[in-house]
Amino acid sequence: MANVSMPQLGETVADGTVTKWFKAVGEHVERGETLFEVSTDKVDTEIPSPASGTLTAILVAAGTTVDVGTVLATIGDAETGATDEHSTSSTPPSSTPPSSRGARAAGAQRTTGLSPVVRRLLAEHQLEAADITATGPDGRLTRSDVLAYVAAGTATPAVTSAPATSPVVRRLLAEHQLEAIDVKATGPDGRLTRRDVEAAIAKRSSATGDEEIPFTKIRALTAEHMVRSKATSAHTLMVREVDYERVELVRRAWGPDFKRDEGFSLTYLPFNAMAAVEALADFPHLNASVGDQRLIVHRERHLGIAVDLDGDGLVVPVVRGADRLGLVEMARAIRDLAQRARTKRLSPDEAAGGTFTITNPGPYGTLMTGAVINQPQVAILATDGVARKPVVVRDASGGESIAIHSVGLLAITFDHRVIDGAYAARFLRRVDEILNTRDWRGA
């Protein structure tokens, strides 16, 4: 038997919330196949199965928050679905009829001292402790004894009018004045899940013309972080118009080969990221965070890239050592992190430790964005839409003419407690200079 535990998803992560199970009890699962989803205070992550076999028990319902290391489920033998003979249970699962169980009553009828986990499993599967062979010390019934009994097919999962519910489910029911019996349960063993309650809430709300959509954990955390940031920092917005024509010429020249080799398009984002990271070397107070009445200037330049999760919230994966990357490496790193964030393959550690952040609404054609600072950092740069516009250009002799160039806005939101306007303005000017003078062909 293999135990499935809450993984250590990051150095600073002590617990996680099981938000979804992708398999039900009795279903086969392959090693490496997605088994469940975990939400932390940083990211949502899909967790693969540690072994192949039959999912014999789910011990933690969706919507429940538990500590790292907590056993969440068990997976039995891949061939039979029964518990592995090398598991903690030393006695094979019982399948004898009730009439023949009296011979082992001495050990099995000791029901005192049952652990909370054992009591919950007995209740979920409508079992009596006396019906199961106890193999623990002093004849105690263990979790493995109950799971072995269930895996043998002797027990019938309970589907009652009042299925077991998690604290999150009970809270949602109370907040929306719903009864558990009135909500269709789709979870393992007839359990009521958070999504079941949310579906019932949405269905009831739609009848009145309004739809109520409860916050997901990542949306609730995003909301809390945004409000706290605005309450913490003296947000100030500064914007500079940038001529992207030199960058555009490189994109046109390299674009087809880049897409052929890399499988995705060369956008403006890696150019902006490279220029911003280089400019931070000249303006280190923007590569910093705020401590207790002090500014902490970071030696490393770890670039956060804000990623939208299709309306469900924001995460900010981090390109570590961004100043050591070339243009192609930067483009690859940004795309990889964004894709894994959206497919829930990102670890919490990959969304921690950023020293400066870029948000990129530009692909949606935005004009100017006043982004919210990613605490405890002191600034965030928004890269908005780039469009073809008429501009005044000067030749070598100083003559002026009108030309059509690619033009966009760079908007920096900074913490005016520690950064003054002139400092932020010079930073934007430096980013502009880098975009227009760097030899991007050799980047």
| Lowest-confidence pick of 69-73, 126-130, 428-432 | 126-130
Give dist(CA 429, CA 438) in Å, integer: 14
Is 420 in the active site? Answer: yes
Among candidate residues 176, 405, 416, 432, the one labeled active-site is: 416
- Burial (0-12, 13-18, 19+ Cβ within 10 Å), 303: buried
CA distances from 268 to 224, 247, 250, 381 (A): 31, 8, 10, 14
* Mean confidence (pLDDT) of the chain: 84
Give the pLDDT band of residue 124 (cuts 50, 70, 90): low
- H/E run at residue 329: helix 327-342
pLDDT single digits (tens) 179-188: 888 888 887 6
318 and 350 Cβ atoms separated by less than 8 Å: yes
Structure tokens of 82? 């029964």
Among candidate residues 67, 261, 282, 420, the one labeled active-site is: 420
Give dist(CA 119, CA 128) in Å, integer: 10
pLDDT single digits (tens) 207-239: 676 777 778 778 888 888 899 999 999 999 999
pLDDT single digits (tens) 406-418: 999 999 999 999 9
167 and 161 Cβ atoms separated by less than 8 Å: no
CA distances from 415 to 276, 288, 327, 378, 384 (A): 17, 11, 29, 5, 20
29 and 336 Cβ atoms separated by less than 8 Å: no
Share of the chain above pLDDT 70, in %: 84
pLDDT single digits (tens) 89-110: 333 333 333 333 343 433 333 4
Share of the chain above pLDDT 90, in %: 51
Give the pLDDT band of residue 154 (cuts 50, 70, 90): very low
Give the pLDDT band of residue 116 (cuts 50, 70, 90): low
133 and 108 Cβ atoms separated by less than 8 Å: yes
pLDDT single digits (tens) 234-253: 999 999 999 999 999 999 99
Give the pLDDT band of residue 159 (cuts 50, 70, 90): very low
Is 235 in the active site? Answer: no
pLDDT single digits (tens) 165-177: 676 777 788 878 8
- Determine the 3-state secondary structure of 31 from DSSP: coil
Average pLDDT (74-100) is 45
User: Angle at the Cα of 53 (from 50 to 57), degrees rounded to 5?
Assistant: 85
- Strand partners for 67: 15
Task: Give the per-residue pLDDT at 126.
Answer: 65
Give the pLDDT band of residue 354 (cuts 50, 70, 90): very high
- Helices 327-342 and 245-262, packing angle to 10 deg: 60
| pLDDT > 70? residue 112 | no
Q: Which residue has the higher pLDDT, 40 or 101?
A: 40
Task: Give the per-residue pLDDT at 106.
Answer: 36
Whole-model pTM?
0.67
Give dist(CA 12, CA 349) in Å, integer: 8
Task: Give the per-residue pLDDT at 133.
Answer: 83
Q: Which residue has the higher pLDDT, 348 or 305?
A: 305
